Amino acid sequence: MKQDPRFPNLFILDHPLIQHKLSHMRESDTSTRTFRELLREITLLMGYEITRDLPLTTRTIETPLQKMEAPVIAGKKLAIVPILRAGVGMSDGLLELVPSARVGHIGVFRDPETHQPVEYLVRLPDLAERTFILCDPMVATGNSAVYAVDVLKKRGVSDAQIVFLALVAAPEGVEVFRNAHPNVKMYVASLDSHLNDHAYIVPGLGDAGDRIFGTK
């Protein structure tokens, strides 16, 4: 896991398999089907890394030989919260890893002119004592990511209960996120070069939603 001195709350998952799969996803001639498969695979690998610090407790179980205090994940079930619509491409992979997780949804779209997030749906599981994994493949301006964390924090979820998972981020967006939520950890596969005039990440991978769902 790599860090950038500019962004103390950003963690770059530089595992070779993650990096290899991301490179293939970036290629413009990768098909919708392959893009989706790679997103699922990369999310499994990233999910494995970001759940490393989940608190454990023990439960008494009985093996065929004897009783033992066996480690199990503490607290309530995880909550996975994709930011619609592209985040759904990541929540599917995370659910394979943690099948008993609860799933919330936060629907925001980016106003094409102001680039500000506009909310159209929020559905969440009960909030106390859960870890929330917010996911969205692209952190471009950072506005949707900040907004989604605001949604949780306004309802009383603490910084330490939230992690943000993305594939690719732009430094501009990470800066906005850090200023708004310096104590929320963000995990990405890549910190790219910059945003272009249309708020697309460069080099990026294009429009993640369109590439996942095969739309234009």
Summarize as ranges the residues that interact with ligand URA (CB under 6 A): 86, 138, 140, 200-201, 204, 207-209
Question: Shortest approach of ligand URA to residue 193 CB, angstroms?
Answer: 11
- Bridge-based pairing of strands 162-165 and 132-135 is parallel
Q: List the binding residues.
A: 85, 110, 136-144, 201, 206-208
Shorter beta-carbon distance to ligand URA: residue 119 or 207: 207
Please, which residue, 94 or 170, has the CB nearer to ligand URA? 170
Instruction: Give the DSSP H/E element, type plus range, for residue 180.
Output: helix 171-180
Residue 209 Cβ vs ligand URA, minimum distance, rounded to whole Å: 6
CB of 211 to ligand URA, least distance (A): 8
Minimum CB distance to ligand URA smaller for 82 or for 209? 209
Stretch (H or E) spanning 211 = helix 208-213
Shortest Å distance, C-beta 138 to ligand URA:
4
Q: How far is the CB of 206 from ligand URA (least distance, A)?
A: 6
Q: Which residue has the tokens 């209960």?
A: 161
DSSP line for 25-84: HHSTT--HHHHHHHHHHHHHHHHHHHTTT--EEEEEEE-SS-EEEEEEE-SSPPEEEEEE
Q: Which CB, 40 or 102, lies closer to ligand URA?
A: 40
Expressed in percent and rounded to 5, the helix, strand and coil fractions of the chain are: 35, 30, 35
According to DSSP, the residues that pair with 133 across neighbouring strands are 80, 163
Q: Residues annotated as binding site for uracil?
A: 201, 206-208
Residue whose CB is less far from ligand URA, 64 or 112: 112
Pairs from 24-31 (Cβ < 8 Å, separation ≥ 24): 25/167, 25/205, 25/211, 26/203, 26/204, 26/205, 28/206, 30/211
